[in-house]
Structure 1
Amino acid sequence: MTGQESLKTLPLGDLHQHAGARFGGFAGWSMPITYPLGVMKEHLHARQKAGLFDISHMRLFVLSGPDCEAALSKSCPLVPADIAVSRSRYTFLLNPDAGIIDDLIVTRLGADRFMIVANAGNAAIDEAELKARAKGLHAEIEPLDRVFLALQGPAAEAALARAGVDTGDLHFMQGIEPRENWFMSRSGYTGEDGFEIALPGADARALVAMLLADDDVEWIGLAARDSLRLEAGLCLHGQDITSATTPVEAGLLWAIPKPLREGGPYVGAEALAAAIAKGPARRRVGLKAEGRQPIRAGTQLMDADGEPTGEVTSGGFGPSAGHPVAMGYVRADLAAPGTQLIAEIRGNRVGLSVAPLPFTPHRYRRG
């Protein structure tokens, strides 16, 4: 069996084929990479109107039961009691060394019910970890079989309304169950206002048909999703953050409540507190190259004296920014914006500078 044949197929795979998608492998799935519109126009369409993404490769879990708060407290650096119904939080599954097993979005749906959205490549590991950390508690981890769609861009809310989907008064990082077996949150990974909707297959096909009949909506592939999230300064697990990366060096401590930075019941608490006290040896930064040539992931970075100082973890061209954009890790003393660095690409040295993140401003609808 070839690698392509062994990839999982999206529930709406036939729709993507009919739309003329070009497919490629990602996290074990056959994913639409681009459509006939092309990556540049797809990217700009999502920024200017509304882009429709099939993110069904991602995994949703329902955490429920009388001990679900305790299970979540053991699993993640969160204070579940502080999360109001319909509120979402960005958080992490950490290993004992405070490395990021995965980054998650957790939404409270009721007194004893949470929705957890996990990354595709980590779904099996996440499920095993969540169940292990809930062992002995009255809490159940249930994987959901749903189509998962994202509609992103300034026209997303209006397009959903025209398709008969009432988004209510949702603001950024809020989520609800608007219909039976539906989950909808005002969130996404593009830096734009938008929504993520998990729903049964038949409902998804009907919704997709209505959305694509709207002149403001176009299918957007994985390539543009990557350039959108990179411009927005958002991490991709497996590249910008991994199980060997701590939230400290990744610049993600803002997602951890201050009392839990000194310890707590969650796995990795002691190591995280030690990492905070010590300070990071390296930091995640934005990187802007001179000229028009993109600097790709894996490119080694040097300081002005030619000494190794870090590595690019994500890189490409930013269609909205109008120049190459990248993220990576550099020695902590070189992480200040404006610091000059050097990348060596196929024997040529390219200058680049540390740049503030994000490269394009976030346009979330906040309350």
Structure 2
Amino acid sequence: MTDHDTEDHLEDLPLDPLPLDAWHRAKGARMVPFAGYEMPIQYEGIVAEHTWTRENVGLFDVSHMGQLLLSGPGLDAAVEAVLPIDLSTLKLGQQRYSLLLDEDGGVLDDLMVSRWPDALYLVVNGATKWDDIGTLREALPDDITLNHLDDRALLALQGPKAADALARHADGKYPLSALTFMRFGLFTIAGHEVTIARAGYTGEDGFEISLPAAAAAEIADLLCGEPEVKPIGLGARDSLRLEAGLPLYGHDMSPETSPIEAGLIFGINKRRRSEGGFPGADRIIREIAEGTRRKWVGLRLDGRLPAREGAEVFAGDDHIGTVTSGGFSPTLGAPIAMAYVAAAHAAPGTAIEVEVRGKRLSATVTPTPFVPHRYFRGS
């Protein structure tokens, strides 16, 4: 979502309140600066909120994210010149992960793209949204309209009981159960028109709800009135995404990383890998063919001491990489991390060491996700 430089810069500026700012405070949230906003990091405690989401349903306020709507003549061709996405295979009601790259193939942001009638809807990271808007406006033709939907909030309802809780309130032309992972539809909740996508950032089944900001408190109250649902903060969102092996922009990827070494080749659709025609394509195509000097991997550490971002990784006396995300996994009861390491040491099962507080801790390269995803792909 943000790199340290961006966070430091944003936190020097006045913080904007989320549409639900007063709602969070009334619920007892501890608020912290993040991505230019004051955001709830926890209510009852990170581990308790993490476990509740794994077993029930968590409501996350992600209204800091940027919601953008693109429209105009020749839209698909214009967007394909900017993103490595194949829009010919993105049908109405579908969404897809993609990447905004610089001319050298570095990652400027990761984002979601959805096919709306006569438009494309993008969700971009909160701390990068203003840069993203500037990059897109500069790169897209003048007859492509970019609307920043700053009058809308975004809520994520995540957990194994999310579908049951949301179905009690979401009315549409078809039942909520018709949505499978990475599909979306138009619904109403309490008379308000909303867009619901079956997606999220926790590894659990769940939904992201785009709704009028003015209705956010009403709908949040309605959802948290269900016995399965509690509000959850940024702390548990981070521990959940770590267990799910999901990268965080500015930490696990940045302009200094390519999507190939970051393991994000799925964000570059098959046709585009051969045809190119997007920023950084030469480097991307070369790395697909030749490989990369380093790779992003999962790590399982021995003991209970977690490795945090910036911890150095070694193989014997050789420095082979750096941790990009890490922490203690409540679900596994063990420390886990993700890191870039030299390609020769990236195979699952490889024994390495991570330096934490001046000590070398034994660790093993481990496939991700650490905790299996439970996305709903249909019965």
TM-score category, normalised to shorter length: over 0.9
1:202-213 equivalences in 2 (<5 Å): 202-213=214-225
Shift of 1:164: 4.2
In 1, Cα distance between the equivalents of 2:286 and 2:224?
Answer: 50
Instruction: State whether residues 151 and 194 of structure 1, in contact with CA within 8 Å, keep that contact through their aligned partners in structure 2.
Output: yes
1:139 aligns with 2:144: yes
Q: Bigger shift: 24-33 or 282-291?
A: 24-33
Distance 1:270 1:291, change over 3 A: same
- Which residue among 109, 124, 129 is the counterpart of 1:123? 129
Query: Which residue pairs with 2:78 in the alignment?
Result: 71
List per-residue Cα deviations over 1:136-186 (Å, max 9, x = no partner).
4x3211100211100000111111122345525111001223357522211
Query: Which residue pairs with 2:345 in the alignment?
Result: 334
Distance 1:195 1:202, change over 3 A: same
Using structure 2 for the length normalisation, give the TM-score. 0.92
Report how many residues are paired: 362
Distance 1:266 1:160, change over 3 A: same
Shift of 1:267: 1.6
Aligned partner of residue 245 in structure 1, secondary structure: coil
- Which residue among 245, 252, 256 is the counterpart of 1:233? 245
| Runs of 4+ off more than 6 Å | none
The gaps in structure 1 that reach 5 residues or longer are none
Instruction: State whether residues 109 and 177 of structure 1, in contact with CA within 8 Å, keep that contact through their aligned partners in structure 2.
Output: no
RMSD: 1.6
Shift of 1:203: 2.2
- Which residue among 177, 182, 185 is the counterpart of 1:176? 185
Instruction: State whether residues 104 and 283 of structure 2, in contact with CA within 8 Å, keep that contact through their aligned partners in structure 1.
Output: yes
Query: Which residue pairs with 2:355 in the alignment?
Result: 344
- Which residue among 219, 235, 238 is the counterpart of 1:223? 235
1:82 aligns with 2:89: yes
The gaps in structure 2 that reach 5 residues or longer are 1-9
In 2, Cα distance between the equivalents of 1:227 and 1:272?
Answer: 30
1:354 aligns with 2:365: yes
In 2, Cα distance between the equivalents of 1:320 and 1:328?
Answer: 20
Instruction: State whether residues 306 and 342 of structure 1, in contact with CA within 8 Å, keep that contact through their aligned partners in structure 2.
Output: no
In 2, Cα distance between the equivalents of 1:199 and 1:173?
Answer: 18
List per-residue Cα deviations over 1:69-126 (Å, max 9, x = no partner).
112111111111211100111000111111111001000012x211100001110111
Query: Which residue pairs with 1:21 in the alignment?
Result: 29
Amino acid across the alignment from 1:185: A
Instruction: State whether residues 4 and 30 of structure 1, in contact with CA within 8 Å, keep that contact through their aligned partners in structure 2.
Output: no
Amino acid across the alignment from 1:326: A
- Which residue among 269, 286, 297 is the counterpart of 1:285? 297
Using structure 1 for the length normalisation, give the TM-score. 0.95
Instruction: State whether residues 205 and 376 of structure 2, in contact with CA within 8 Å, keep that contact through their aligned partners in structure 1.
Output: yes
